[in-house]
Structure formats: C-alpha cells, structure tokens
Amino acid sequence: MVGLILFGVGITLLIASDLGAAPWDVFHTGVSELTGISTGNVIIIVGVLLLLLWIPLREQPGLGTILNAFVIGIVVDITLPLVDGVDFVVVRVVMILGGVVIVAIGSGFYIGAGLGPGPRDGLMTGLARQSIAGHSISIRAARTGVEVIVLLIGIALGGAMGIGTVVFALAIGPLAQIFIPPLSMSDPVETTAPVPR
C-alpha cells in the first residue's frame, strides 16, 4: 500500500507540473480531457479494462494487481487538487524530478511485495508470451509497442505530453533497477523485470 500511495503521489507531481506526464498518464489525461471524467477515475477504469485483457493472455492477477488498479487512481484524485496550478518553472521542474524518483521508490515497494504486477505490467508480460507467425515477442518489444501506441493516442486526445514525458521514459528504468532489489520483501527481484507504466 505504501508503494501504491507513493506511486500515485509521483504520478500526481508529474501531471501537476504541466510539463509532461508519463506515457500512460498522457493517455489518462487525454481521456480525462475528452470525457470530463477525473484523471484518477480514468486510471481506475483503464486498469480494470486492462485486467479483462489478461483473460486471453492467461495472466494471473494477485492482491497487488487489484489494489494497483484502484489505489493509484484514488491517490491521484485526492492529491492532484492539492498541488495543481503551480506557476514557477523551477518548482515544476523539481516536481518532475521528484515525481519520477517517487514513482521509482513506489515501484520498488509494490513490486517488491510480490503480491502481483500492476494491470499495465501484466499486459506487457502477457503479450511477451505470445507469438506472431511463430516468432516470440520480447518484453522490450511488447512494452515499447504498447507505450508508444498509448502515448500517441494520449497526444491525439490532448494529453499532457512534454519534457516530463521524456524524463520519465529515460529515467524510470534505471531508477526502478536501483530501488526494486533492496525493497523486495522475499527473493530479490530480477533487475530485468518489467517496470511499471
């Protein structure tokens, strides 16, 4: 729960910076702009819908998976009004950097708990177990493909893309690799494990 709350706070900081959100959150904010549904509720709805896609992919959710689908969205809806509307660029840049680090720490806690991957992570690993014309799909290809598609749809819907999106994309992998192993509750998590979002 600590990890999911931290993850939600980090996502809030990225969105509130108004300098670009994480790729999935570009999509979430785009859907929110289009529908008028709060960003947190969009995160929850998308998470639940992604769990339905797990069925044909034969992914097995855990308690952490279900909590992930709901808690992060709730935290974003609670915290976003508290930090939204910051005008100073320096503060907004600090929000981006702090947001990415907080998401990485949150990832370490929730992945390290070993109670199941998030809905978006399971989509990547499920796709990676599939094959097209006899060729397997690597986790890297599955993750990159989905992230790019989601990002492009989010941009088309008016989502918040910018320098924060680039910073997140470049920094989240290395930072998660730093934080996941020491925050694992049981056996050390392999540093090649898919990174959330």
Q: Kindly report the three-state secondary structure assignment for every residue of the chain.
A: CHHHHHHHHHHHHHHHHCCCCCHHHHHHHHHHHHHCCCHHHHHHHHHHHHHHHHHHHCCCCCHHHHHHHHHHHHHHHHHHHHHCCCCCHHHHHHHHHHHHHHHHHHHHHHHHCCCCCCHHHHHHHHHHCCEECCEECCHHHHHHHHHHHHHHHHHHCCCCCCHHHHHHHHHHHHHHHHHHHHHCCCCCCCCCCCCCC
Q: What is the pLDDT of residue 196?
A: 59
Q: What is the pLDDT of residue 123?
A: 79
With vertex at residue 69, the alpha carbon angle to CA 185 and CA 144, rounded to the nearest 5 degrees, is 85
Tallying the residues shown for the chain, one arrives at: 197
Q: What is the pLDDT of residue 138?
A: 75
Q: What is the pLDDT of residue 30?
A: 93
The residue assigned the tokens 């997140």 is 168
Domain boundaries along the sequence of the chain: 2-183
Q: What is the pLDDT of residue 185?
A: 78
What residue ranges of the chain have pLDDT lower than 50?
188-192
State the burial class of residue 60 (Cβ atoms within 10 Å of its Cβ: 0-12, 13-18, 19+): exposed
Q: What is the pLDDT of residue 46?
A: 95
